[in-house]
Structure 1
Amino acid sequence: MCVGEPMRLSTVDGIVGRTGDGTLIDLSLTPDLRPGDWVLTFLGAARERLDPDEAQKILAALEGLRAVMAGGSAGDAFADIETREPTLPPHLQAALAAGAAQG
């Protein structure tokens, strides 16, 4: 399983970015990025630009998972989703609705 990790770019040089800790990020799939932008990375490659709020939510969720895996509590790492019902992505919701209409 591959887990995406939010990272903030400190420098951008063409299709290569660098984070504050020196990590190199392949930006070839995410054009028009600038220093300071947050990106969701998988295996060293940026897959999408994130707004800062979304990046912080993902970072909190990852920290919560680390805490649980170490035998602790997730705390409020998932507070943004605990009070709402799960939702399907639009394409799955459309498929569900189409199936219900036929059924």
Structure 2
Amino acid sequence: MCIGIPMQVVEGDELTARCRRHEAISSISMMLVGAQPPGTFVLTHLGSAIRVLDAAEAQTIDNALEGLAEAVEGRNFEHLFADLVSREPELPEHLR
């Protein structure tokens, strides 16, 4: 399983950008998504931006990652999966 990490562009160009996740800044390859303006959220994997995200999707992914960490520590995590708790699972469109 691969895990993508959402990060926010601080500055950069077509090749690389400095991106922030919480308080950490990392150098991320932008070759797959192109230059993005500061403030843009990108999904990163192994040091490369693989997709541009909107703020809501970035927050949903952050919540899921935090929820997994809370579950591993044995703490309450249900509030971080609010979008899933009160509904039945749904198949993606291409699998229906």
TM-score range, shorter chain: 0.7 to 0.9
* Residue of 60, 65, 68 corresponding to 2:68: 65
Bigger strand share:
2
The Cα shift of 1:41 comes to: 0.8
Which deviates the most, 62-71 or 18-27?
A: 18-27
Question: Where in structure 1 do 4 or more consecutive aligned residues deviate above 6 Å?
Answer: none
Distance 2:54 2:62 in 1: 12
Number of positions where the alignment pairs a residue of Structure 1 with one of Structure 2: 93
2:81 to 57, 78, 83: 78
Q: Which residue is equivalent to 1:3?
A: 3
1:12-91 pair list within 5 angstroms:
12-20=12-20, 21-91=24-94
Which of the two has higher C-alpha Rg?
1
Q: Secondary structure at the match of 1:77?
A: helix
The SS at the match of 1:78 is helix
User: Over aligned residue pairs, what C-alpha RMSD do you find?
Assistant: 1.4
Among the aligned pairs, what percent are the same residue? 42
Return the offset for 1:32.
4.3
| Runs of at least 5 residues in structure 1 that lack an aligned partner in the other structure | 94-103
TM-score by length of 1: 0.81
Equivalent AA in structure 2 for residue 92 of structure 1: L
Unaligned runs of 5+ in 2: none
Give the secondary structure class of the aligned counterpart of 1:23: strand
- The answer to whether the 8 A contact 2:42-2:53 is kept is yes
C-alpha distance in 2, partners of 1:75/1:90?
Answer: 26
